[in-house]
Structure 1
């Protein structure tokens, strides 16, 4: 970890305080040197779920860079006295890394989402980053033969791998196969491909900055999302309060 990244521990989870620029520079240097880097972003839901999911907890802790994604975590860290200037949103980092890869002639592999979404995503990325080398792409429904997908990624010669699968599947997949992927960098990007493909709209900037991106998702998919966010956000708030009052957790 470079001196420009500060690692803290929030509610038992390690995470790095770093700017977007610092994160991208760190990853560029690691890829250029052939140093394997496993990356993850942490939001409120993941932080809460790590407390009861030992495998997810292990997968996150195994990462070399743990960026703060959700504004809820930023606000929570500030509430407990940490100086966190801002978050490094996964979808924004994804685009920054694609631009960096194009500039540095690094190749990428896209893994996840449905066949339709991944095909559209790959096409749109080629339009947005015309000189980027996309070594390959594959949908996220491959669980009957994970080894075959791992071999496909390795054979592609890709240097950066982006995995758009739901949590905790993506974190556990990455951690399980990290030594056999053949890439220099791997990052889970959640629903990013859905956003790039235009299937899901991202929250307006003001909602992102206010930490209301989760609420925007609830508005779009109320039946699927309201209970998930209500439960995790409530648990997170309670954990923060207990930590602030130094009550044993």
Structure 2
């Protein structure tokens, strides 16, 4: 996974969804472990406000384009080999759990993740070795607990459903302690894929309007993210692309 396009100073993978899924499903590819981060426009906006967070993002082993604005930016910055499409946390988890062979995995965070996992059938349920859906306080004691449980249960893949920036902070901490794990932060993926969740129609996903669908469904929780932070991330992308042309 060496082919990248630099966007706002970070190397974003030029791989497609299937190639990123294989990092988690192919025993050879996942053997050495990695932290995969799915980058969206809100995270770009946070990076502009918080340089320490952007430095953390740069430590990820693989960074994928979660939002369509990043895909569009790659067509300007790398016109001959643009990013072929999004790799979101939702698509990544969905593809992994639908597989015929699922690596032993754990879930840290999320709202009732087992209800979602049960929808994927026996293989996904049996491969789930550890779930922690309590409060994550990032203490040294709790990190020790996670490392003991993940090691004891021979977990190979960890889905961290805590939201930004906490899921990225935990992924980095676990990467330092247990480098052979495959780690990825997935935000509210299990809620979206769960019995009460819903996803925007394909046409909205492909045209970069999934944010509008989510805002309409959860205005109270998401208005600040999409009406304040999201535009700042788009502006950062525009400046990055304009700078290229100077």
What's the TM-score bracket when you normalise by the shorter of the two chains?
0.7 to 0.9
Worse overlay, 86-95 or 185-194? 86-95
Q: For the Cα contact (< 8 Å) 1:153–1:181, is it kept in 2?
A: no
1:139 equivalent in alignment to 2:138: no
1:70 equivalent in alignment to 2:67: yes
Q: Which has the higher contact order (CA 8 A, sep 6+)?
A: 2
- TM-score with structure 2 setting the length: 0.85
1:124 equivalent in alignment to 2:123: no
Structure 1, residues 139-192: CA drift from partner, whole Å, max 9, x if none? 041316522233222222111111111111000111022233475311111111
Q: 1:155 aligns with which of 128, 132, 152?
A: 152
Count residues with an aligned counterpart. Answer: 240
Q: For the Cα contact (< 8 Å) 2:16–2:87, is it kept in 1?
A: yes
Q: 1:74 to 1:128 in 2, by over 3 A?
A: farther
Worse overlay, 58-67 or 142-151? 142-151
1:239 equivalent in alignment to 2:233: no
What does residue 182 of structure 2 align with? 185
1:11 equivalent in alignment to 2:46: no
Worse overlay, 181-190 or 128-137? 128-137
Residue 52 of structure 1: how far off its partner (Å): 2.5
Structure 1, residues 177-222: CA drift from partner, whole Å, max 9, x if none? 2233475311111111112223432111111111111111110111
Tell me, in whole angstroms, the C-alpha distance in 1 between the residues paired with 2:125 and 2:220. 41
Residue 48 of structure 2: SS of its match in structure 1?
A: coil
What does residue 34 of structure 2 align with? 37
What does residue 168 of structure 1 align with? 165
Tell me, in whole angstroms, the C-alpha distance in 2 between the residues paired with 1:33 and 1:243. 33
1:47 equivalent in alignment to 2:44: yes
Q: For the Cα contact (< 8 Å) 1:37–1:185, is it kept in 2?
A: yes
- TM-score with structure 1 setting the length: 0.84
C-alpha root-mean-square deviation of aligned residues, in Å?
2.6
Residue 120 of structure 1: how far off its partner (Å): 1.4
